[in-house]
Structure 1
Amino acid sequence: MKAVRIHEDGGPEVLVLEDVPDPEAGAGEVLVELRAAALNHLDVWIRRGLPSVPKPRILGADGAGVVAALGAGVAGFEIGERVVINPGIPHDGRITVIGEHTDGTYCELKAIPASQLHALAGSLSFEEGAAFPLVFETAHRMLVTKAGVREGENVLIWGIGGGVALASLEICRAFGARTIVTSSSAEKLELAAAAGADVLVDHSVDDVVEVVREATGGRGVDIVVETVGEATWERSLAAAANEGRIVVCGATSGHSPPARLYRLWWKQLTVYGSTMGLPSDFEAAYELIRNGRSRVHIDSVYPLREAQAAHERLESGSQFGKVVLSISKSP
């Protein structure tokens, strides 16, 4: 089969399309003929260099396709059935992620534990099926399982346009929460408004904390979706309401932010750490999409052979929605 692998750390140029042996479905596994795989920032971090990830490695956590073969003991699936992959595999109290701890989905065929597969809704394309799992289950765990978002609450989402930020916007809308979203791009803010964001903030010129105060009658937000880290942490603490919740799943600008710790106790804030999601988060997020309460946003689609260009698009930061690879079976 064809697969995109990395043999060394580096930029997009280290992504190599090559022939690798076809996998086989083991006991309890399903062989999936992939039709689409979505990019995540996790792929970029692995490509740049995570010492814990051996090489060569096929990147990609997310994917959707059709059932090609069933391993021993597998029931409930049919050959040719459209399926979507849940990339987070519970293991000894932790989550093993496809594409990080095992080979991923930038390939034509992938053997997947049957427990990680779900029927792909007829209303979704393969590209949409590949685009939602990691970011939606991450956002659901952050907002619903951890922070307990409720109708009428105010939620601050930094950096609208990325996968987790957009999934957070969609989940907030589904639960009736009011969203305040930020970006330095006027185009992204316009797209966010069209997607249902309530308050738009250009964080490159506006005082985000002041806008939050004005938008909430001086109270602050109930929840901050914090994925940025050093560049936003102080403002996240300042923007939160008394007894507000800050939920953190990443730190794209750096992991050692300055912090006026007194804000934590004076405002009695709660900080939640969160990563990926449990099967229950995936299933609940998928239900929101299946019943039309949440939408999947796709920025662009590239053929598998153009994985380098897809990574360049993701790293540019100019995307609004998911960057997806379309996969066609080679002759």
Structure 2
Amino acid sequence: MKALLFKGKDQPLTVGDFKKPRPVKDQVLIRLYAAALNHRDLWVMQEQEQMFPDGVILGSDGCGVVEDVGEDADPFLVGMEVVINPSLEWGANPMVQGDKFRILGFPDNGTFAEYMVISKKYIFEKPEHLSNEECAAIPLSALTAYRALFSKARLRAKEKVLITGIGGGAALWLLQFAVAYQARVYVTSSSREKIEKAKTLGAAGGFVYTEADWAAQAQKETGGFDIIIDSAGGDQFNRFIELALPGGRIVNFGRTAGNITDVATRLLYWKQLSIHGTTMGTRDEFLSMLDFIESRKLKPVIDEVYPLAQAPEAFKRMEQGGQFGKIVLKIGS
């Protein structure tokens, strides 16, 4: 089968031949229709020091059809169109992942291939209202967004929400989820064009975070936020402490701007703020997320679709940071 192979840091991604896997025990064999890129794939490529001469298949997001099953999987699954939950071995505690937790796509072979095998417990029926490419754009980013907004921040209708770094997959799911839940949503970006695009999806306004006075503008326009969800960290995090309303909740799930360098401690306790870290989510949250998407007929924002053979170009687009929505690889049909 053809697969996108990662062989080590500073090594070019290559599309090559890889042995087609066979399902065993409770596994299913999935012929993949489409897969989607995540920043996690970039971090693995940039930070993994080990070399893999035979190649590892990255990719956490995927959609396809069950083509074969192992001996402990129901043969009636064959022919089912499915979306894959990449949150593997979460564990028994819904509050935090266990020691065996890992994310599909590294170290396990992932979705950037024509075929993959995975336990039957990680497949769910494809939402009927979505195309194959749209379905592939759901798993990692939508699950992360759902847990951040509902399980951690505990969004209530009519609350004011600030979402940082609009344009990425998780941020756009956050926007769509919050708007669908009747929140008043604002966004930040370094691009006014992205802010305007976010407004077409229901954002009430936005702020250019590269402008020195963006937080003052946000405070003047909104009066502060009940919920702030951030995927960057870095030295701007203290602005969120200032912008949070008393009793506010701040959730972080990323580090694209580096480590948090400062926190206004007095404001933190005097406002009685809550700061939550989060990553991925449980099986129950994945099911609830799918139900939320299906019941409201939500669709992901897709930036570009590339054939698998052009995956290196797709990654270049992600590295450049100009995308608005998910970057998807079309694999089969």
Alpha-carbon displacement from aligned partner over 1:87-114 (angstroms, at most 9, x marks no partner): 1112444332100231111000000110
State the match for 1:98 in structure 2.
104
Q: How many angstroms apart in 2 are the aligned matches of 1:208 and 1:244?
A: 19
Post-superposition offset of 1:274: 0.4
Q: For 1:168-187, list aligned pairs within 5 A.
A: 168-187=174-193
Contact 1:38 / 1:63 at 8 angstroms: preserved in 2? Answer: yes
Post-superposition offset of 1:206: 6.5
Contact 1:208 / 1:235 at 8 angstroms: preserved in 2? Answer: no
Q: How many angstroms apart in 2 are the aligned matches of 1:39 and 1:173?
A: 24
Kindly tell me: are residues 294 and 207 of structure 1, through their superposed partners in 2, closer, same or farther at Cα, counting changes over 3 Å? farther
State the match for 2:47 in structure 1.
49
Is 1:279 matched with 2:283? Answer: yes
Q: How many angstroms apart in 1 are the aligned matches of 2:308 and 2:154?
A: 38
Q: How many angstroms apart in 2 are the aligned matches of 1:250 and 1:194?
A: 25
Q: How many angstroms apart in 2 are the aligned matches of 1:53 and 1:297?
A: 34
Is 1:3 matched with 2:7? Answer: no
State the match for 2:94 in structure 1.
none
Contact 1:199 / 1:215 at 8 angstroms: preserved in 2? Answer: no
Instruction: From 311, 320, 325, give the equivalent of 1:321.
Output: 325
Instruction: From 116, 141, 149, give the equivalent of 2:147.
Output: 141
Indicate the SS of the match to 2:234.
coil
Alpha-carbon displacement from aligned partner over 1:110-129 (angstroms, at most 9, x marks no partner): 00110100111221111111
Alpha-carbon displacement from aligned partner over 1:267-303 (angstroms, at most 9, x marks no partner): 2111011000111111111112212353311100001
State the match for 2:87 in structure 1.
88
For 1:287, the aligned partner's letter is D
Alpha-carbon displacement from aligned partner over 1:216-265 (angstroms, at most 9, x marks no partner): 3x3x1011101111142011111111111111111101024222222211
Q: How many angstroms apart in 2 are the aligned matches of 1:184 and 1:57?
A: 34
For 2:228, the aligned partner's letter is V
Q: How many angstroms apart in 2 are the aligned matches of 1:62 and 1:309?
A: 18
Q: How many angstroms apart in 2 are the aligned matches of 1:293 and 1:156?
A: 23
Post-superposition offset of 1:43: 0.2
Instruction: From 116, 127, 131, give the equivalent of 2:133.
Output: 127
For 2:193, the aligned partner's letter is E
Unaligned residue ranges in structure 2 (runs of 5+) = 92-96
Contact 2:161 / 2:226 at 8 angstroms: preserved in 1? Answer: yes
Kindly tell me: are residues 253 and 279 of structure 1, through their superposed partners in 2, closer, same or farther at Cα, counting changes over 3 Å? same
Post-superposition offset of 1:36: 0.3
State the match for 1:14 in structure 2.
12
Kindly tell me: are residues 318 and 231 of structure 1, through their superposed partners in 2, closer, same or farther at Cα, counting changes over 3 Å? farther
Post-superposition offset of 1:319: 0.5
Contact 1:53 / 1:101 at 8 angstroms: preserved in 2? Answer: no
State the match for 1:27 in structure 2.
25
State the match for 2:316 in structure 1.
312
State the match for 1:243 in structure 2.
247
Post-superposition offset of 1:325: 0.4
CA RMSD across the alignment: 1.8
For 2:19, the aligned partner's letter is P
Which range moved further: 72-81 or 271-280? 72-81
For 2:3, the aligned partner's letter is A
For 1:16, the aligned partner's letter is T
Instruction: From 118, 121, 136, give the equivalent of 1:112.
Output: 118
Kindly tell me: are residues 77 and 237 of structure 1, through their superposed partners in 2, closer, same or farther at Cα, counting changes over 3 Å? farther
Q: For 1:68-87, list aligned pairs within 5 A.
A: 68-75=67-74, 77-87=76-86
For 2:158, the aligned partner's letter is G
Q: TM-score, normalised by structure 2?
A: 0.93
Q: How many angstroms apart in 2 are the aligned matches of 1:260 and 1:121?
A: 44
Post-superposition offset of 1:186: 2.0
Indicate the SS of the match to 2:5.
strand
